[in-house]
Chains A and B, each alone.
Chain A
Amino acid sequence: NAGVTQTPKFRILKIGQSMTLQCAQDMNHNYMYWYRQDPGMGLKLIYYSVGAGITDKGEVPNGYNVSRSTTEDFPLRLELAAPSQTSVYFCATGRPEETQYFGPGTRLLVL
Chain B
Amino acid sequence: AQKITQTQPGMFVQEKEAVTLDCTYDTSDQSYGLFWYKQPSSGEMIFLIYQGSYDEQNATEGRYSLNFQKARKSANLVISASQLGDSAMYFCAMVPRTSGGSNYKLTFGKGTLLTVNP
Contacts and interface: CB of A to CB of B under 8 A. Distances in A.
Given A33-B106, A42-B4, A43-B106, 5 more contacts: A48-B104, A59-B105, A88-B43, A98-B33, A104-B43
Interface residues of B, number: 23
A106 to B, nearest CB: 10
B56 interface: no
Contacts of A98: 33, 50
Interface of A: 31, 33, 40-45, 48, 50, 56, 58-59, 88, 90, 92, 96-102, 104-105
Interface of B: 4, 33, 35, 43-45, 47, 50, 52, 91, 93, 95, 97, 101, 103-111
A105 B50 contact: no
B97 A44 contact: no
A99 B47 contact: yes
7 contacts: A40-B110, A41-B111, A43-B45, A90-B45, A96-B95, A99-B50, A102-B44
A43 B44 contact: no
